[in-house]
Amino acid sequence: MEKKSGFCNVTAIFRNDALEQVQQRLQEIGVNSFSVLRVNGYGEFADFYSPDLLTHHLRIEIFTTARQGDAIAQTIMDAAHSGLAGDGIAAVLPVCKVYWIRRRTEVEPDEL
Amino acid sequence: MEKKSGFCNVTAIFRNDALEQVQQRLQEIGVNSFSVLRVNGYGEFADFYSPDLLTHHLRIEIFTTARQGDAIAQTIMDAAHSGLAGDGIAAVLPVCKVYWIRRRTEVEPDEL
Amino acid sequence: MEKKSGFCNVTAIFRNDALEQVQQRLQEIGVNSFSVLRVNGYGEFADFYSPDLLTHHLRIEIFTTARQGDAIAQTIMDAAHSGLAGDGIAAVLPVCKVYWIRRRTEVEPDEL
């Protein structure tokens, strides 16, 4: 699926305090568009000082080419890595199609 | 994957002020179930009046049939389109299975 | 895609008041890592006492093995099920790769 469409989605969940570093490293490799939101994490993400074992992480989501997906995941890992439990995960998901809302056209692989 | 399961996920990130129009147009084409959340955007989404180049967008997510995915993405594009930078993107992702929690059964393609 | 990578993503949207039960049941089957966030729902999710037909749900997201995806979706359904409209949905999405940020390595299927 990834190869056929030419696109993928990189989603990562990481520590709040790594955002500035992640953002900077992504821009250095030419990734200029991404969205970020707050999530509550459990388990691997647990904060044992919190009464409900819940902690706050950030979730980043990037739509990119299939070719760049792994490099972007690696960049996020390098930027968000502390070596401690709760560092989170990065994943690459397949994508069928991506469209620009501004142009109302499909994105071509060389545009991302 | 999309064809095999019969389902897909349409995810779009668009301007806050387009929500009412997006919601109305989706309902006109028979899409009655979707979820919306706030995200922070960077890059393509940047608000240059904001000190951290961050802006606020909405992220909509719809689980639908593989057959309807592109038409729903088109409808969101038409509704959220302003023609300016920062209009955002729409994407179609493959889905393996969808279940109704109310019935605890798999969704059949003609139910979405 | 799911079979090739060995991983999948389970995403479910369910009632706010089911979180404690969902969390407990997931831990009982050995799922210790997941993230949760608030979403606004429309349509199937509509709260007819709300002026904008909008209601608040939770969205859970779990990265797991392809083998466990359906059992986790079933567990969430059992825990979040009330039998009423607005119970929400659970879906299994294919995933290409998953990485540990702490170790900067790919996750092996037997680690999730």
Interfacial residues of B (vs A; Cβ cutoff 8 Å): 1-2, 8, 12-14, 37-45, 57, 59, 69-70, 73-74, 76-78, 80-94
- A25: three-class secondary structure by DSSP: helix
Contact: B80, A101; criterion CB under 8 Å: yes
Helix (H) or strand (E) holding A39: strand A34-42
pLDDT of residue C1: 41
pLDDT of residue A59: 95
Q: Is C32 exposed, middle or buried (0-12, 13-18, 19+ CB in 10 A)?
A: middle
A55-77 pLDDT, tens digit per residue, is: 788 999 999 999 999 999 999 99
Distance CA B41, CA C3 (A): 33
Distance CA A57, CA B99 (A): 27
Helix (H) or strand (E) holding C9: strand C7-15
Residue A43 has pLDDT above 50, yes or no: yes
Nearest to A35 among B57, B83, B94 (CB): B57
Contact: A87, C100; criterion CB under 8 Å: yes
Going by C-alpha positions, the residue among C48, C38, C31 that lies closest to residue C16 is C38
pLDDT of residue C44: 53
Residue A21 has pLDDT above 70, yes or no: yes
pLDDT of residue C3: 46
Residue C15 has pLDDT above 60, yes or no: yes
- C85: three-class secondary structure by DSSP: coil
Residue A41 has pLDDT above 90, yes or no: no
Q: What is the DSSP string of A86-109?
A: T--EEEEEEESEEEETTTTEEPPG
How much is the average pLDDT of C10-37? Answer: 92
Distance CA B38, CA A37 (A): 7
B64-109 pLDDT, tens digit per residue, is: 999 999 999 999 999 999 998 889 999 999 999 999 999 999 998 8
C78-105 pLDDT, tens digit per residue, is: 999 999 888 999 999 999 999 999 999 9
How much is the average pLDDT of A34-53? Answer: 68
Residue C45 has pLDDT above 80, yes or no: no
Going by C-alpha positions, the residue among B63, B44, B28 that lies closest to residue A63 is B44
The answer to whether the CB of C88 falls within 8 A of the CB of C45 is yes
B23-61 pLDDT, tens digit per residue, is: 999 989 999 889 999 998 775 545 555 555 567 889 999
Q: Is C2 left (phi over 0), alpha (psi -120 to 50) or beta?
A: alpha
pLDDT of residue A111: 82
Distance CA A5, CA A10 (A): 15
Distance CA A112, CA B108 (A): 35
Q: Which residue did the predictor score with more confidence, C61 or A86?
A: C61
pLDDT of residue B3: 46
Nearest to C63 among A76, A82, A91 (CB): A91
pLDDT of residue C53: 58
Q: A77 to chain C nearest CA, in Å?
A: 5
Radius of gyration (Cα) for chain C, nearest Å? 15
Which of C8, C63, C92, C99 best tests the A interface by mutation, with the highest count of A CBs <10 A? C99
